[in-house]
């Protein structure tokens, strides 16, 4: 996206982290990769920890917080020694889902664990505390995906967050153009919600009120409505606000409309970074090898 490898090296937007295997373990391979990334990219050493409460830490919020704080302070000692900077307290806590028998990155319990470590980080190192934003754990675009994303964004925004992640499913393991469409519209929803509301004589429309109110609910006919409705109203591309009879004449839903939009954009969008046929062939080789390893068959779409 930056145009060249040199531009990326000059201003890198990513890092290879030195991941901690909680509790209190770092493999030599992780250290070597992270230090090599530090050398190549010219960025400070980036530690990372995502402890799973109930498996890698105590199940309780208090117990997880105690262990994660201790781990983070140890990482602060490492980053001070290597780069003369503080790491802070890691805010990536997860929980062990006893029903699914795997880690989980969504839910009120996850948010409590993450908010607790955010509070500890603010207490020790300063900064603000927000309600940790949710990832989408649903594997495909579905009502669950929309439920998780909408609730997570709303709670995050209510506590002070002003950025959202878009286009990802399965806790960022899966990218989806359809989810991207829906998430982007959710972002527009909150952008409209937090817009400045301008109040002046023109927008109050006193003359329009005096002329229209005595006659009844005829504001739809006024020039005032025609002048300001585009600024004042939010227009969803995917939500359906028709009445039941209107919907029955042409049933549809938000996911279907977002999928249609994604397909149209895929068909018509200009490829700004085209690959050569040789590069495409190499990618298909990698996919085929991965499929063999997974015992699956990849179909070209």
What pLDDT, in 10s, does the model give residues 200-226? Answer: 999 999 999 999 999 999 999 999 999
Structure confidence by residue, pLDDT tens digits, 58-97: 999 999 999 999 999 999 999 999 999 999 998 889 999 9
Domain that holds residue 124: 1-132
Whether residue 148 lies inside any domain: the answer is no
In this structure, is residue 19 part of a structural domain? yes
pLDDT, tens only, 154-167 = 988 888 888 888 99
- Specify the pTM: 0.78
In a domain, 229, yes or no: no
Do the domain assignments include residue 100? yes
Do 125 and 76 contact (CB within 8 A), yes or no?
no
Question: Do residues 126 and 163 touch, judged by C-beta distance below 8 A?
Answer: no
pLDDT band at 130 (very low <50, low <70, confident <90, very high): confident
Residue 168 in domain: no
Calculate mean pLDDT across residues 19-33: 93
Taking 90 as the threshold, does the pLDDT of residue 300 lie above it?
no
Judge whether residue 171 has pLDDT over 50.
yes
In a domain, 180, yes or no: no
**Confidence category of residue 293, pLDDT binned at 50, 70, 90:** confident
Judge whether 53 lies within some domain: yes
Share of the chain above pLDDT 70, in %: 94
φ, ψ dihedrals at 5, nearest 5°:
-65, -35
Cα–Cα dist 88/85, whole Å: 9
Query: How many residues would you count in the chain?
Result: 301
For the chain, what is the domain count? 1
- Long-range contacts at 254-263 (CB < 8 A, ≥ 24 apart): 254/146, 254/182, 255/141, 255/142, 255/146, 255/178, 255/182, 258/141, 258/178, 258/181, 258/182, 258/185, 259/141, 259/178, 261/181, 261/237, 262/177, 262/178, 262/180, 262/181
Domain assignment present for 140? no
Band the pLDDT of 146: cuts 50, 70, 90.
Answer: very high
């Amino acid at each position: 996206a930056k145009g060249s490898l040199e531009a990326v090296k000059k201003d890198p937007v990513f890092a290879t982290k030195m991941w901690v295997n909680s509790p209190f373990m770092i493999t030599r391979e992780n250290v070597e990769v992270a230090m090599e990334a530090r050398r190549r990219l010219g960025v400070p050493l980036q530690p990372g920890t995502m402890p799973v409460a109930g498996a890698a830490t105590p199940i309780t919020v208090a117990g997880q917080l105690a262990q994660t704080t201790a781990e983070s302070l140890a990482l602060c000692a490492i980053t001070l020694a290597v780069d003369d900077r503080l790491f802070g307290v890691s805010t990536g806590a997860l929980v062990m889902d006893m029903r699914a028998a795997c880690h989980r990155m969504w839910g009120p319990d996850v948010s409590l664990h993450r908010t607790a470590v955010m509070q500890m980080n603010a207490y020790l190192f300063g900064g603000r505390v927000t309600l940790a934003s949710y990832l989408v754990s649903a594997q495909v675009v579905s009502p669950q995906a929309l439920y998780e994303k909408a609730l997570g964004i709303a709670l995050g925004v209510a506590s002070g967050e002003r950025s959202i992640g878009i286009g990802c499913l399965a806790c960022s393991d899966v990218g989806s153009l359809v989810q991207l469409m829906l998430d982007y519209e959710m972002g527009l929803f909150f952008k409209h919600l937090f817009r400045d509301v301008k109040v002046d004589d023109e927008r109050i429309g006193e003359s329009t009120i005096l002329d229209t109110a005595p006659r009844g609910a005829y504001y739809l006919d006024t020039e005032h409505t025609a002048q300001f409705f585009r600024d004042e109203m939010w227009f969803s591309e995917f939500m359906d606000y028709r009445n039941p009879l209107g919907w029955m004449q042409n049933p549809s839903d938000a996911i279907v409309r977002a999928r249609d939009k994604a397909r149209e954009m895929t068909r018509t969008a200009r490829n700004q970074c085209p690959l050569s046929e040789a590069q495409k062939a190499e990618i298909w080789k990698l996919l085929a090898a991965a499929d063999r390893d997974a015992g699956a068959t990849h179909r070209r779409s």
